[in-house]
Amino acid sequence: MKGSIIPLAAVSFVAFFSTAAHAVCAGYNYAYYDGGSTGTYVISDCTPQCNVVRVDNLGGSNVCTTGNYRCSAPPIRVTDIRVNGLWYACRNDANKGQCNGRPGAQAVPTSCCRNDGRRNLKEGRITRDEYEAIERRNAELDAELVEFQAKERS
Protein backbone atom coordinates (compact mmCIF):
# COMPACT_ATOMS: atom_id res chain seq x y z
CA MET A 1 0.00 0.00 0.00
CA LYS A 2 1.22 3.48 -0.70
CA GLY A 3 2.54 4.99 2.50
CA SER A 4 2.70 1.50 4.04
CA ILE A 5 -0.39 1.94 6.17
CA ILE A 6 -0.81 -1.84 6.40
CA PRO A 7 0.96 -4.59 4.52
CA LEU A 8 -0.97 -6.91 2.20
CA ALA A 9 -0.44 -9.83 4.60
CA ALA A 10 -2.20 -7.81 7.29
CA VAL A 11 -5.14 -7.24 4.94
CA SER A 12 -5.46 -11.01 4.57
CA PHE A 13 -5.12 -11.60 8.33
CA VAL A 14 -7.63 -8.91 9.22
CA ALA A 15 -9.91 -10.07 6.43
CA PHE A 16 -9.95 -13.59 7.84
CA PHE A 17 -10.53 -12.64 11.46
CA SER A 18 -12.47 -9.37 11.24
CA THR A 19 -15.96 -10.82 10.81
CA ALA A 20 -17.81 -14.05 10.88
CA ALA A 21 -21.45 -14.83 10.21
CA HIS A 22 -22.88 -13.45 13.43
CA ALA A 23 -25.47 -10.95 14.46
CA VAL A 24 -23.52 -7.74 15.18
CA CYS A 25 -22.91 -6.60 11.60
CA ALA A 26 -22.82 -9.73 9.49
CA GLY A 27 -21.12 -9.02 6.17
CA TYR A 28 -19.20 -5.94 7.35
CA ASN A 29 -15.78 -5.04 8.74
CA TYR A 30 -16.78 -2.59 11.48
CA ALA A 31 -19.73 -1.45 13.57
CA TYR A 32 -20.17 2.28 14.25
CA TYR A 33 -21.87 3.62 17.39
CA ASP A 34 -23.06 7.22 17.48
CA GLY A 35 -22.96 8.54 21.02
CA GLY A 36 -25.19 11.47 20.11
CA SER A 37 -25.29 14.07 22.86
CA THR A 38 -22.51 12.28 24.80
CA GLY A 39 -20.01 13.23 22.08
CA THR A 40 -18.50 9.74 22.22
CA TYR A 41 -18.24 7.81 18.98
CA VAL A 42 -17.15 4.17 19.01
CA ILE A 43 -15.95 1.85 16.25
CA SER A 44 -15.78 -1.87 17.01
CA ASP A 45 -14.93 -4.95 15.04
CA CYS A 46 -17.77 -7.29 14.11
CA THR A 47 -16.84 -10.21 16.31
CA PRO A 48 -19.42 -11.26 18.93
CA GLN A 49 -17.23 -9.50 21.54
CA CYS A 50 -17.41 -6.18 19.64
CA ASN A 51 -13.76 -5.39 20.37
CA VAL A 52 -13.34 -1.64 20.41
CA VAL A 53 -11.07 -0.40 17.62
CA ARG A 54 -11.34 3.31 18.38
CA VAL A 55 -13.18 5.68 20.69
CA ASP A 56 -13.45 9.35 19.77
CA ASN A 57 -14.50 11.58 22.67
CA LEU A 58 -15.40 14.75 20.83
CA GLY A 59 -17.45 16.57 23.46
CA GLY A 60 -19.19 19.37 21.60
CA SER A 61 -17.16 19.00 18.39
CA ASN A 62 -18.83 18.09 15.14
CA VAL A 63 -17.95 14.50 14.21
CA CYS A 64 -18.28 15.43 10.53
CA THR A 65 -15.32 17.84 10.67
CA THR A 66 -12.75 15.60 12.38
CA GLY A 67 -11.26 14.03 9.25
CA ASN A 68 -12.10 10.51 10.43
CA TYR A 69 -15.77 10.65 9.47
CA ARG A 70 -17.72 11.75 6.41
CA CYS A 71 -21.34 12.75 6.69
CA SER A 72 -24.40 13.08 4.50
CA ALA A 73 -26.39 16.20 3.79
CA PRO A 74 -29.35 16.73 6.18
CA PRO A 75 -30.63 14.69 7.78
CA ILE A 76 -27.01 14.30 8.83
CA ARG A 77 -25.63 10.82 9.41
CA VAL A 78 -22.14 9.34 9.25
CA THR A 79 -21.67 7.74 5.83
CA ASP A 80 -17.97 6.81 6.04
CA ILE A 81 -15.41 6.13 8.75
CA ARG A 82 -11.63 6.10 8.45
CA VAL A 83 -9.77 3.32 10.28
CA ASN A 84 -5.99 2.86 9.97
CA GLY A 85 -5.93 5.28 7.05
CA LEU A 86 -8.58 3.46 4.98
CA TRP A 87 -12.17 4.49 4.30
CA TYR A 88 -15.12 2.24 5.11
CA ALA A 89 -18.59 2.98 3.72
CA CYS A 90 -21.32 2.80 6.38
CA ARG A 91 -25.02 2.15 6.17
CA ASN A 92 -27.90 1.12 8.32
CA ASP A 93 -28.53 -2.60 7.95
CA ALA A 94 -31.79 -4.30 8.85
CA ASN A 95 -29.83 -7.38 9.96
CA LYS A 96 -27.60 -5.64 12.49
CA GLY A 97 -27.74 -7.13 15.93
CA GLN A 98 -26.58 -6.45 19.43
CA CYS A 99 -23.12 -6.76 20.94
CA ASN A 100 -22.49 -9.18 23.77
CA GLY A 101 -20.56 -6.39 25.42
CA ARG A 102 -21.58 -2.78 25.22
CA PRO A 103 -18.70 -0.79 23.74
CA GLY A 104 -20.57 2.42 23.06
CA ALA A 105 -23.57 4.39 24.13
CA GLN A 106 -25.75 1.83 22.38
CA ALA A 107 -25.69 -1.96 22.37
CA VAL A 108 -26.95 -1.97 18.77
CA PRO A 109 -24.68 -0.21 16.26
CA THR A 110 -25.87 2.90 14.48
CA SER A 111 -24.51 1.53 11.23
CA CYS A 112 -22.33 -1.18 9.72
CA CYS A 113 -19.23 -0.34 7.69
CA ARG A 114 -17.35 -2.14 4.91
CA ASN A 115 -14.00 -1.41 3.27
CA ASP A 116 -14.48 0.95 0.34
CA GLY A 117 -11.72 -0.52 -1.82
CA ARG A 118 -12.68 1.44 -4.92
CA ARG A 119 -12.42 4.77 -3.10
CA ASN A 120 -9.20 3.82 -1.33
CA LEU A 121 -7.64 2.82 -4.66
CA LYS A 122 -8.84 6.00 -6.37
CA GLU A 123 -7.36 8.14 -3.57
CA GLY A 124 -4.04 6.28 -3.79
CA ARG A 125 -4.34 4.75 -0.32
CA ILE A 126 -3.89 1.18 -1.58
CA THR A 127 -2.32 -0.65 -4.51
CA ARG A 128 -4.20 -2.56 -7.21
CA ASP A 129 -3.24 -5.87 -5.50
CA GLU A 130 -4.67 -4.64 -2.20
CA TYR A 131 -7.81 -3.47 -3.97
CA GLU A 132 -8.26 -6.93 -5.47
CA ALA A 133 -7.73 -8.54 -2.04
CA ILE A 134 -10.36 -6.22 -0.57
CA GLU A 135 -12.81 -7.03 -3.35
CA ARG A 136 -12.27 -10.77 -2.72
CA ARG A 137 -12.90 -10.20 0.99
CA ASN A 138 -16.02 -8.18 0.26
CA ALA A 139 -17.29 -11.10 -1.84
CA GLU A 140 -16.63 -13.38 1.15
CA LEU A 141 -18.52 -10.95 3.38
CA ASP A 142 -21.46 -11.08 0.96
CA ALA A 143 -21.46 -14.88 1.24
CA GLU A 144 -21.29 -14.64 5.05
CA LEU A 145 -24.28 -12.31 5.03
CA VAL A 146 -26.31 -14.74 2.91
CA GLU A 147 -25.33 -17.56 5.28
CA PHE A 148 -26.31 -15.47 8.31
CA GLN A 149 -29.67 -14.56 6.79
CA ALA A 150 -30.37 -18.23 6.00
CA LYS A 151 -29.60 -19.20 9.61
CA GLU A 152 -31.84 -16.42 10.91
CA ARG A 153 -34.76 -17.69 8.79
CA SER A 154 -34.38 -21.29 9.94
Tell me the whole-structure pTM to 2 decimals: 0.78
State whether residue 119 is helix, strand or coil: helix
Q: What is the pLDDT of residue 6?
A: 43
**What is the per-residue pLDDT across 85-136, written as a single tens digit (0 to 9) for each?**
999 999 998 888 888 655 444 578 999 999 999 999 999 999 999 999 999 9
CA distance 61 to 82: 17
Least confident piece of the model among 22-26, 104-108, 137-141: 104-108
Cis (ω within 30 of 0) for the bond into 75?
Answer: yes
Domain boundaries, the chain: 2-149
